Amino acid sequence: MGLVKKLSKGLGLEKEEVDVEDFLDSLNVGDQDIFYEEADFYVKPMTLENANDVKAVLDEITKGNIVLLNFGPLMLRNKVRLKQSVSEIKTKVLELNGDVARITEEKLIVTPAKVKIVKRR
């Protein structure tokens, strides 16, 4: 162990490794926002598994909420249905003056009217 590391440890200044997964999991208190006041709009995580979920996403966007959409389950089961669903969501959201962007291999961010996503290419 190096001198600086020994001194840091002795003084209690040694950096502690942070497990990002544990930290993020600890943020998930539950499905209810009991610690927050009523908000005008929300960021809602949703999962795209069937046609009913498309309607639910569009309902949230119409209410002014932002949706973080996980399409992984549908991608594994039915890629044709996934393409149709995402196309339908994109068309309707753009008609409402919202926006859609892919944020990971299995997630989209869908925004309501007057909320645009800065996309880098």
Instruction: Give the percent of the chain with pLDDT over 90.
Output: 56
Strand partners, 46: 69
Q: Return the pLDDT at 53.
A: 94
Whether the pLDDT of residue 26 is over 90: the answer is no
Per-residue pLDDT for 65 more than 90?
yes
Task: Report whether pLDDT(31) > 60.
Answer: no
CA dihedral 107→75→91→93, nearest 10 degrees, is: -30
Closest CA to 115 of 96, 95, 98, 102: 98
CA distances from 75 to 28, 41, 55 (A): 25, 28, 18
Check residue 76 and give its pLDDT. 87
Report pLDDT for 32.
53
Give the per-residue pLDDT at 119: 86
pTM, to two decimals: 0.69
* Residue 111 structure tokens: 């925004």
Helix, strand or coil, per DSSP, at residue 106:
coil
- pLDDT reading at 19 higher than 80: no
- Give the chain's domains with CATH numbers: 41-121 (3.30.110.150)
- Virtual torsion, Cα 49, 51, 52, 53, nearest 10 deg: 40
Residue-wise pLDDT for 88-121, tens only, equals: 999 999 999 999 999 999 999 999 999 999 988 7
